[in-house]
Structures are given as structure tokens and as C-alpha cells.
Chain A
Amino acid sequence: MKSPIKVLLASAGALATVITFAGCSASPGAASNEKVSITVASLIPGSSKEAFAAFNARVKEFEKANPNITLKTEEYQWTGPTFSTQLAGGTLPDVFNVPFTDSKTLLQNGQLADITSEVKALPYASKFNKNVLSVAEDSSGKIYGLPYGPYAMGLSYNRAIFEKAGLDPNKPPTTWDEIRADAKIISEKVPGVAGYMQMTSKNTGGWELATTTYARGGRLETTDSSGKTTVKTDNPQTKAALQFLKDVRWTDNSAGSNFLLDWSGMNQAFGAGQVAMYPSGSDVLTSLVQTDNVSPKDYGLTTLPLTGTGAGVLSGGNVAAVSVKSTAAQKAAAVKWIDFYYIQQLVDKTQTVAAAKVLAASNQPVGVPTLPVFDQATYDQQQQWIKSEVNIPLSNVAPFTSKIFSSPIVPEPNKNTQELYGALDAVVQAVLTDKNADVDTLLKGVDSQIQALVDAGN
């Protein structure tokens, strides 16, 4: 007679085998006209009803045009912590977005699907701005996503608060000294408002410090001709950027009282009228309207002052990517959706106007400043197409748009970027919370810490 334990083990083994085979048989084929269902990232959690209505309208249009594809939508916001676990756990949407900062690392890690053949079949495949597309390519030229919505960093400001403080919102500050002076006036005349503040938490402190360092002509990492990357945050421009922050905080007392702000926290504070000026992506207005109740008429955007040799504007953007766990059929459907939702509105007049109309009908901002994904001519053409649908006061962002296309655009540091930003968070926080913070020592510590990671290839 068999031992009951053996019987149980044998039964469990048989069950596991059945489940395994069932899992294998569930893998669909890749026929192009078969019914396929994919999950796509919709909007960030907390977006307004109107924003979701606009998104859902686009989904319906897509499903009408592609009857064999069913879309399931899922609220999504890129964060490092959730991404890797969602991917590993199989709960990541088939189509999602990742920031430029991270796309290279993710594709090298094998965490993004190779969609080269699908992208090459698109009519505009060769028209991409090479520098922009490179964020989604590996060294052999394979494509792992399509870039969209590239932005340049600017200075967002609250026009209503400017007026309250007796400042002219049509003449935003153009030098760092003017930013500091205006911030001081605002904090003195409008109690409880931080005249100027930067993000400090969840790696955004480092991101914004990189922005203000670039604006002064500095760089945080340099790569020589042999490909060796040197981390050098201990440089005069970064120190100047930190000194500026220190002056705003400790000399002028115009940085407010909350020094632990991440991206969402800062946007909330700006939307609540607690912060008057902060460095942001040029496209942040969309999120400010969708989640923070900011009125476009109260919003202003200007360029960050560029000083010194090599000064440039830090740029970023998003890559629409496909889950590495998607099947071939899902991958093909996913690229169709990316083409429809993210790219067509940049290259096809009908789609561009349709997308803008849907947004405008839902009171979503149309005309938010971004950078060209393709060449400048395509970008200008697209701006012309949507001209009649633009619903934000373009004069409010004119201080930015009038200058940005003549400013040098510089990509983010490319090695261990998130670790670098995370380490710099602590430095920025130290400057804002400790009057006697030893910046030299702190920056040297960051250099050695991140250089070790770069050298180790982690």
C-alpha cells in the first residue's frame, strides 16, 4: 500500500503538471487578425472625470477603427517601486510609459519588449528626431518604445500670486537674482507662500538640482572618448545652485516651511497656492489641470535663466513601451495603440485635430508646450493644425516658447541616473534644513558613492 504522503505528493505533482500545461496552452498564437485584448495605461490616479472622459473617447475611436482589438484601460503612474513589481507580478499594462531617465536601463535589463519590426512598419519610422528616438534604442539599433511628449525644464509660476504680490505676471524673472528677489517679495507680501521652492524627495531633488546645474553650465556626469563615465557633482555650478537655494531658504526666508516635496507633493502645493515658483517640465500644466485644479489662466511658464559657458536646458520625456510579457499578437496591437494615441496626433492632421477636439471638449489643456518628437517642420505643422483648438492662454507660456527653441537642450545624466538623483536628494534636503550643511563634503560623498556604482556596472 502506498503511503498517504506519497499519494498526496503524487496528486499534487499531477495537479501542478496539469496547471503547467494549461498555462502553456493558454499562450495564444500571433495571427494578425485574431481577436486580441490588451491593457493600456490610461491616466494617472486622481485625474479628473473630464480627463478620463476624453481618454475613453479616444479608446472608443480606436476600437471602432480596430474591431479585432479590445482595450482594457488601467490608471497608471510611472514609479520605480511599482514598475518592477508589476512587471514581475504580471500586472503591468501591455502598454505603459516610462520616463527618458529610465528607458535605457530598463531595455538593457530586458524589461521592455523589442518592437523594432512593428515600428519599422510605421510610415514615419525614419522621420524621428534621432536624438529623441535614441532613448528607446539599444546599441544595436533595436527599438523598445516610441518617445512622446518630450519636454524641456522651465520655471512654472503662479500668475495670481504674482499679482497679489504686486509683481507683473507678464514680466517673469529672467535672471537668478530676479527669481530670488521676486521670491522674497512674494513671501513677504503674501504670507504662507513659498516664493521659490524646488522638489526634494523621491529622486526629484537630484533631478531639479541637475536642472539648475545645467542652467549654470555644469554637468553631473561626463563620459570620455573611451566611454568611461565620471561622476562629478562636486563642481562649481552645482555648488552655485545649492548656494542659491541656501540663500532663498536661510537669507531670504522665502522657501516656505515644507522641505520634503516630491513631484506630486510640489504640484499639489503649487495648485493649492502654497508655492509661487518652481522648476518643472514644460508640459506639467496638463497634470496640474487634471489633478491639482490649476486654472490655465493663473499659470505662467518661463525659461530658467541660462548663465555661463555650456549652459543648457535639461530635457526629458516619456517613452510609450510594451510589456516584455505580452504575446506577439498583443505586441502588434500595442504598437497600433501607441501609434494611434501617442504619435498620430503629431503627424496626421485628422488625428491631430480629433485628439485636440476631444481634449478641448473635456476642458483639458490644449497647446501645452513640448519639444519636437520629429523635425521642427513637423512640429510647426502640428501646432498650426491645433491652433483653433488651443484653450490655454498662449501668452502665459510665451516667455517660455519664445526662447526655448533657441536654447541648447541637454539630456539627463545617463549612468545610474536614479541613484544619482536619490543621493542628491539628501544634499538638497540638507541645504534646506541645516543652515550649516557642509556642501563640499556631501557632494564628495555623492561622487564616491555613485562612481562606485558606475564602475561596478550596477
Chain B
Amino acid sequence: MTTLERRTEGQLERRPDGQRRHRYSPVTWVRGGGLTNLVFLLPLLIVFGVFSWTPIVEAVVMSVQHTNLVTPATFVGVNNFVQVFKDPLFWTAVRNTGLFALLALIFGYPLPLILAVLMSEVRKAKGLFSALAYLPVVVPPVVAVLLWKFFYDASPTGVFNTVLHWVGIAPQPWIQNATSAMPSLVLEATWAAAGGTIIIYLAALTGVAPELYDAAEVDGSSIWQKIWHVTLPQLRGVLLVTLILQIIGTSQVFLEPFLFTNGGPANATVTILQLIYRYAFENSLGGNYGAATALSILLALFLAILSFVYFRITKSWSDN
């Protein structure tokens, strides 16, 4: 502000170059294109406001209310949050969601990267491989789950069990057993989602300068050394983003447990989002919407904090 002189109402400002202009006012704002900007922005603001921000605000309000959306809501303070924490299923859901996220991280996170690197090495029919990899993403999720339900048929004549029989392995219970249900869901979820991530990695791999590989080759690097010392460091920015997206996505897993097992067997696949669904729609007639929104907010807060911490921790790595 040292270069601008402070003026009283109605005075003109003197800019460093000596020119004078009118002080900011609604008229200058309109003349400067502010109104036009606002009009162009308005559809976006309305859409976001109506479909995104309003529901968020309403959810926050509902989390401290008891309501069935028909009779007038009553304020209940933090009771809904207390109810959620006291529910024994809450901790089961947290454990199950954590397990899903962990298994998806172990098996589902590296797989697309490995496939993308392998596919980038393919000389012929690269498009075909990309299409094949992306195909599961195109299949509607419900159809995919129904398809995999056939695969997971626990009888000896089930698709996977028939294949296992060919190699002398006994039939497996798949989703019909508390121990194997969650890994089975992760397997399907990985199949369904890997294609999207592969495409991202393939795009990122095209951005890696070929000279780096040439230099590594001149230095006598093996293929693994090239991946470790060239590919992965070059992709680290993308890898960091896909990692947090994967964590957020798997923390909100709903479709697979809902359609495959409805949380069973014996609550072995009840996840946080499914518990939210149960609160709102399944058990309490008229809906325990208060507890459902309370748990939603807890999950959102957790993920927001996690993302913040994650980006703080990985900032330096990402920048370098």
C-alpha cells in the first residue's frame, strides 16, 4: 500500500504511474465485468448450492436432530453422536472398513501400476490391452456384482470352484464365510476399479522422458532398476494422488458389501457407509436420519483430517 495514497470518499486514487482512476464501487464493478462474471458463474453456483452445499449444511443440522422427515424435527444435541459411538456395530464397521482399505491397498494399489508398466512396454496392440483393462470400468457396477455372484457360487459347481477343482483344490466358501468374504469383495472391487487407474498411469508414463531410460540403459540398469530409479520417481506425483484417492474411496466402500452380502455373514462385511445406510433406511422405520448424518459427518471429518495430514506429510516429497 505504500505506493497508493489513501483517499477520502469520492476522491480519486493516484496510481504509481500518475494516472487517476475512480475508486471501487458497484458501478465500477459492473462496468469492469463483475456482473457478467457473476451471471456466467450463477448456474454453477446454483447447481453446487442446491445439490452439494445445501445437503451438506442440512446434514450438519440433521445430525443434531431427531427427525423422520415427516413430523417436525426435534433438537437432540450430541445424542446422535453418542448413539453412534455406543453402537457395538460401529466398531465392527470401523474394523471392517479398515480391513477393506488395507487389503485394497496391499492388493489393489500396486496392481494397476504393475499392469500399466507392463502395458507400456508392449510394442503391439497396446490399444487392445488398454481397452481390455478398461472394460470392467465400463460394465455397470450392479451387473458386475451379479456376474461375480455367479463366480463366487460356493457350491462345487460354482465358476471359481470349478476352476479350482481342475487344479485339485477343494471348493471355497467365498462370500459365504466370515473370513473369506472381505477378501472376495476386495478382489472384485480391484477388478472393477483397476482399469481407471491403469489409464491414469499409462498417461503419466508417456510423460516420462525417454532420455532417462536411455541414460539408465547406458549405465547398465536392469528393467527393475529402471522401474525403481526412473519410473517410480517420475510418477511420484500421480502415485501420491492415486494413493489418497484410493484411501478415500475404499473408506467409503458401499456397493460391494451391500450387493454381495448385505453386510454378512454375521456382520463380517458391514462397512461404515453401510451402517449409515442401515441407520437411515433399514432398521428404524421412519429412519434414524440423525444417527446416519452424525456418522456421515464423523467419516467426512476423519477423511478431511487424513487428507490434510497426508498432503502435509507428503508435500516435500511431492515438491522434490
Q: Which residues from chain A sit less than 8 Å from chain B, CB to CB?
A: 1, 3-5, 8, 80-85, 87-88, 102, 105-106, 109-111, 192, 200-203, 256-260, 262, 324, 418-419, 422, 425-427, 429-430, 432-434, 437, 445, 449, 452, 458
Contact = CB atoms under 8 A, between A and B. Distances in A.
Interface string B166-200: 00000001011110000000000000000000000
Nearest to A418: B283
Nearest to B30: A4
Given A80-B281, A418-B283, A430 B70 contact: no
Nearest to B68: A109
A419 B291 CA distance: 15
Chain B contact residues (Cβ within 8 angstroms of A): what range? 35 or more
Contacts of B264: 200-201, 259-260, 425-426, 429, 433
B288 A458 contact: yes
Given A109-B71, A433-B177, A418 B284 contact: yes
B220 to A, nearest CB: 55
A192 B155 contact: yes
Nearest to A456: B83
Interface string B270-287: 000000011001111111
B58 to A, nearest CB: 12
A201 B176 CA distance: 12
Given A256-B155, A257-B154, A437 B266 contact: yes
Contacts of B286: 84, 105-106, 109, 111
B69 A87 contact: yes
Given A109-B70, A111-B286, A202-B262, A426 B267 contact: yes
Contact of B285 (A5, A109, A258): A109
Contacts of B68: 84, 88, 109-111
A211 to B, nearest CB: 19
B70 A1 contact: no
Contact of B69 (A84, A260, A427, A430): A84
12 contacts: A8-B42, A84-B281, A88-B68, A110-B71, A260-B175, A418-B282, A418-B283, A419-B284, A422-B283, A433-B265, A437-B266, A458-B288
Nearest to A324: B70
A434 B264 CA distance: 12
Contacts of A82: 281
Given A4-B26, A84-B68, A429 B265 contact: yes
Interface string B251-268: 000000000011011110
Contacts of A105: 285-286
Contacts, number: 120
B122 interface: no
Most buried by A among B27, B153, B155, B264: B264
B314 interface: no
B30 to A, nearest CB: 6
A262 B285 contact: no
Contacts of B283: 80, 203, 418-419, 422
Interface in B20-43: 26-27, 29-30, 34-35, 38, 42
A445 B92 CA distance: 13
Counting from the closest, the 4 A-B pairs by CB-CB distance are A81-B281, A88-B69, A430-B266, A257-B154
B221 interface: no
B55 to A, nearest CB: 14
Given A1-B26, A105-B286, A87 B70 contact: yes
Nearest to A425: B264
A418 B265 contact: no
Contacts of B265: 259-260, 429-430, 432-434
Contacts of A259: 176, 264-265
B88 interface: yes
Contacts of B88: 445, 449
A294 B83 CA distance: 45
Contacts of A258: 153-155, 176
A105 B283 CA distance: 12
Contacts of A81: 277, 281-282
B54 interface: no
Given A109-B71, A258-B155, 20 more contacts: A80-B282, A81-B277, A81-B281, A88-B69, A102-B285, A105-B286, A109-B285, A110-B70, A111-B285, A256-B155, A257-B153, A257-B154, A259-B176, A262-B262, A418-B285, A419-B283, A426-B266, A433-B265, A449-B88, A458-B284
Most buried by A among B68, B266, B281, B282: B266
A87 B285 CA distance: 12
A256 to B, nearest CB: 7
B146 to A, nearest CB: 12
Contact of A433 (B27, B35, B38, B176): B176
Given A202-B262, A259-B265, A432-B265, A422 B282 contact: yes
B11 interface: no
A105 B34 CA distance: 55
B20 to A, nearest CB: 22
Contacts of A85: 281, 287
B236 to A, nearest CB: 42
A257 B284 contact: no
B266 A260 contact: no
A171 B277 CA distance: 45
A270 to B, nearest CB: 16
Contacts of A87: 69-70
A364 B175 CA distance: 36
B178 A84 contact: no
A422 B26 CA distance: 60
B281 A257 contact: no
B225 interface: no
Nearest to A110: B71
B157 interface: yes
Contacts of A102: 285
Given A81-B281, A81-B282, A422-B278, A1 B27 contact: yes
Contacts of A422: 278, 282-283
A192 B262 contact: no
A80 to B, nearest CB: 6
A1 B30 CA distance: 12
Contacts of A425: 264
Interface string B1-34: 0000000000000000000000000110110001
